[in-house]
Amino acid sequence: MNIGMSTPDYSHLSSKDFHDVYEPAEDTFLLLDALEKDVEHLHSSRPCICVEIGPGSGIVITFLAQLLKSMAFFLGVDTNPKAATSTRRTADQNGVHVEAVTSDLLSALQPRLEGSIDVLIFNPPYVVTPSEEVGSSSIASSWAGGKDGREVLDRLLPQVSKLLSPKGSFYLLVIKENKPDDIRRLLAKQNLTSQVLLERRAGPENLSVMKFYRDPTLCS
């Protein structure tokens, strides 16, 4: 890592909190490492609006706020109201300001956010599960992805290009079972270039963080 940022402190969250909110794990930490690896781009793009979908404990959006040390607006959007509360608490614990709202993906905010998100982050429910587990009221909804682990993600993908600003970047965590090449092709149709920032094996899972953005050299 270039600057050796510490993981945000989440000691204020207890095991009771993690009954309802996804506890930081290898996928979370890989996403932190990927953002830190891309720190030069993040700083040079001077983002104004940064959004994480499904922040859970809030450590990723908090980490980004610490990394940028800027006047950007940081927002966490989670379908779980307890995750929104945890995100605000984690930001406060680490001395940064993050707004957190409850919404199904960005449905409550999309008209106002279209074309304005400079940094969009999503660690979706990616585990391949029966479809009926997707969107349940239990903690399983934080990882249950249904068919190909894509049922939640596939609802967002058609909107990505509309949401990103001209300089925007989309950071997405996936596993091999999510068919990353298919995701790359889908977003290429929206004129978004892709690269894999980091990969890591965690137990049986092959984790990757992909970055999607508009390549100015390919724009007409």
- Reported as a single tens digit per residue, the pLDDT across 117-148 is 999 999 999 999 999 999 888 899 999 999 99
Closest CA to 152 of 182, 181, 129: 129
User: Which pair of structure tokens corresponds to residue 26?
Assistant: 């290898």
Give tens-digit pLDDT for 23-49. 999 999 999 999 999 999 999 999 999
What domains sit in the chain, N to C, each tagged with a CATH number? Answer: 22-215 (3.40.50.150)
Task: With both helix axes pointing from N to C terminus, report the angle between 81-93 and 59-68 in degrees, rounded to the nearest 10.
Answer: 40
Buried/exposed 153-188: b ≥16 CB within 10 Å, e otherwise? bbebbebbbebbbebbbbbbbbbebbebeebbeebe
Give tens-digit pLDDT for 36-85. 999 999 999 999 999 999 999 999 999 999 999 888 999 999 999 999 99
